[in-house]
Amino acid sequence: MRVLVSGGAGYVGSFTVRSLLSAGHEVLVVDDLSTGRREAVSGVPLELGDIRDELRLESVFANFRPHAVMHFAGLKSSEESMTEIGRYMDVNVRGLTTVLECSRRHGVRLFVFSSSCSVYGTPGCVPVTEDVSAAPESPYGESKSMGEHLVQWYGRLANIRFANLRYFNAAGAAADGSHGAYVPASVREIFPMVIRACLGMVDGIRILGSDFPTSDGTAVRDYIHVEDLAKAHLRVLEGLDDSDVSGSYNVGCGTGVSVQEVVQTVRMVSGRRPPVSFGARRPGDPAGLWADTTRIKEAFGWEPVHDLAAIAETAWRWHRDNPSTLGPDSSSLSGR
């Protein structure tokens, strides 16, 4: 089928484009390259444009005539969204509305939305299921929750089958070393931050919070290999084409891993041992957040195949061999 992928030059989007192409689908990427990279989708048709530009997007839809849309384009920092509320709502909500309107007008049948576990906020129990009420704690999380409602309304009223995929923490790189993340200095994600320390780009690793009620005192999160996440998108898209199982789905490994475990695993695969220090936890950080993935397994038969060691090994090899993909950053780790 013809699949339009907004934000397809970004990290998860570009891995999903690879999965779509390997399955024989025709792909068109729409991206403004504000955070995505042209080389991430080299050889793939790319329309350069902003998802809020309705006239531009209308022309793209009219020419490509997609059967399906995968929507990745958007801003994704919870911390940044606390001071840039308007920009996050404009890009993540108005931009999505523009894509959905074009999808409705051009008869798109299938829509897969890149949502986030941030819609849950701090859930009362873990693993968290899709039945837990949304309680976002940042404008970013709120924008994703609002986006899910928009997708549901368009799905219902425009006869579009849809899936809101609530990601947990994507990490890792291609097993063959050909592709991985490009991480700006402002991005505070655990794997690139530990790898920066292992490469000597920063003096050490500082973990925020050592007194959480967990096995080692550090926060526990769910980390999923980006190739597993990309294959989940493919499986969901093809599953929706076969049967109307529209809804919201967690996409994670389904197990919790502590920040300390991540640090130890990256140190092990890299053979480097940068020093570790601890600071106070950030207000609002939940002790643990990981997914119950029963629903996506039952509906689409999808399960992740990579473990924590594979995530760490592929991420380490990618950044070690391509150090320009990391920017200097001395931020601290809390697990988000």
**Amino acid 184: pLDDT:** 82
Looking at residue 124, the DSSP 8-state letter turns out to be S
**Amino acid 283: pLDDT:** 74
Per residue of the chain (336 residues), what is the pLDDT tens digit? 999 999 999 999 999 999 999 999 999 999 999 999 999 999 999 999 999 999 999 999 999 999 999 999 999 999 899 999 999 999 999 999 999 999 999 999 999 999 999 999 999 899 999 999 999 999 999 999 999 999 999 999 999 999 999 999 999 999 999 999 999 877 778 999 999 999 999 999 999 999 999 999 999 999 999 999 999 999 999 999 999 999 999 999 999 999 999 999 999 999 999 999 999 987 778 899 999 999 999 999 999 999 999 999 999 999 999 999 997 543 445 554
Residue type, 149: H
Q: Which of 140, 154, 167, 249 is catalytic?
A: 140
Count of residues making up the chain: 336
pTM of the model as a whole: 0.95
**Amino acid 332: pLDDT:** 47
Do 29 and 5 meet the contact criterion of CB atoms below 8 Å apart?
yes
Known catalytic membership, residue 88: no
Which residues neighbour 280 within 8 Å (Cβ) at sequence distance 6 or greater?
208, 209
**Amino acid 328: pLDDT:** 54
Which residues neighbour 288 within 8 Å (Cβ) at sequence distance 6 or greater?
126, 212, 214, 219, 220, 221, 256
- Tell me how many degrees the CA angle 108-16-161 measures, rounded to the nearest 5: 30
Tokens of 213: 């009620």
Pick the CATH number of 173-222+254-288+305-325 from 3.40.190.10, 1.10.3720.10, 3.90.25.10, 3.65.10.10: 3.90.25.10
Cis peptide before 127 (omega within 30 of 0): yes
Residue type, 330: S
**Amino acid 46: pLDDT:** 98
Q: Under CATH, which architecture does the 2-170+224-251 domain have?
A: 3-Layer(aba) Sandwich (3.40)
For the chain, domain boundaries: 2-170+224-251, 173-222+254-288+305-325
**Amino acid 336: pLDDT:** 45
Burial grade of 125 (CB within 10 A; 0-12, 13-18, 19 or more): exposed
Q: Cα(129)–Cα(136) distance, rounded to whole angstroms?
A: 15
